[in-house]
Structure 1
């Protein structure tokens, strides 16, 4: 029996499997979850049917899989419907209208061209999950093109206190009207019991498409976008729960899952802290083994990083 098998065989996780929620799952469900999918309830929200096939296949990997086709909005609407702007790329569709004036300066502006606008059934995230018998979120990933932070804040406080990992994909530039950008996300999450575990910056060349076509020709304009040096335009951010903050809201299940999530994120120092706190609070047998596993993984990371560290030292 693997260590993960042992963790998810514990009564707390066997009776209440982890709930992994992906809002805006165009292109497929969060890949980092694949290793624990068979133990978990996976929930994917994606109203743009152009990417539904890959999401339907996800049900084969998860213990329980729920695909939700409705729009998710921060607040309930009187008629239960919201506008979805369907863009050239399914990954750019949003309930917020793209800011075409600002986007025209960038090489990926064509992906945000609105081809159709529809009014679709819409609900809040908490209501959608409750309607499917779920009363918690353990790992929340939002890629909603501008509404990530608002959707997180729309969850009941009692739910937010139990979340152990949060991922957002906020913009750095002006891409949507009224969006939550990276600066707002970082400021807001600084007041939550999380720490920033990952920050990846996406880049796109700042070049108007008409200028690219004029100087390089229409057939080469897209290659300029692909190959030229880019500037920061969006970010992927991941926050993990800090067991030292508001510890009274973390039970044994949360500390076990906190170790799993930190380990999946390759944050073995944070995993070690979860194991240490869990051992001190609930007894050592399993948590002690988790701690030893984290120490082994840290040593392996050190070995892998040693050649590069030595090379940097030699090149000073």
Structure 2
């Protein structure tokens, strides 16, 4: 979960094509109304946990779920609590004190991470979030124009299928001028102030520099992380679009207006500590992807066709 503090405007151009109905549950599941932090793209759902109802951030960038320590002042961490999620009666939550510049109405009640989400099928669309326990019907989604992205080695309901040393976090693959890497889909990364933020680790940025890309330095930003506030370098890449691809290199989306942010190693782990080039996408990319389905029991992420529920290109 990352939050930015500097304003930047980006224009999104919608490519209108037939798309699934926004309220259609494509893989079954219970519907939850989506809540945001004002104008932020990060999605919260209201959920009953431990006898209290509140807004939990649906965060595929977090591997550990948590609850606000202020809401449960007499509990011990980790807290075992009843949880109103399909397939679960109880769950384990760390207790944390959140320090956020923007919160959903009623405050930040908790974070739902991949310790739960890797066992559930979740669909993000315009009307909300559908969560269920069954894997998707691949033939049905292909017939509707969805593109599957394999999560082999990255994200799965079976933790043994992920590569050792990697967090159990879903990915797409990105390419900038032929430089290719996996990019984690961090739905908890609220990049409203810098839409289409692409955090990259130092190995990725070093290769980007060596590739001869035209990098235009912007003003540094301050971000809130698990290690506190820290400053990060910001760049625009001129003349080279960001390509969102499948594991085989098939094009899924093209984004022309994006921001590269260099992520230095800190105590939070993640891509910053990896020796190979790696990236992380902000939550604003979900709008560009349109209807997006995380299907960990099939080791896939499905991205819908460009159209009413997806922006497709960004200039």
Shared fold by TM > 0.5? no
Choose 1 or 2 for highest CA Rg.
Answer: 1
Judging by fraction of residues, say which structure has more helix.
1
Length-normalised TM-score, structure 2: 0.26
Length-normalised TM-score, structure 1: 0.26
Judging by fraction of residues, say which structure has more strand.
2
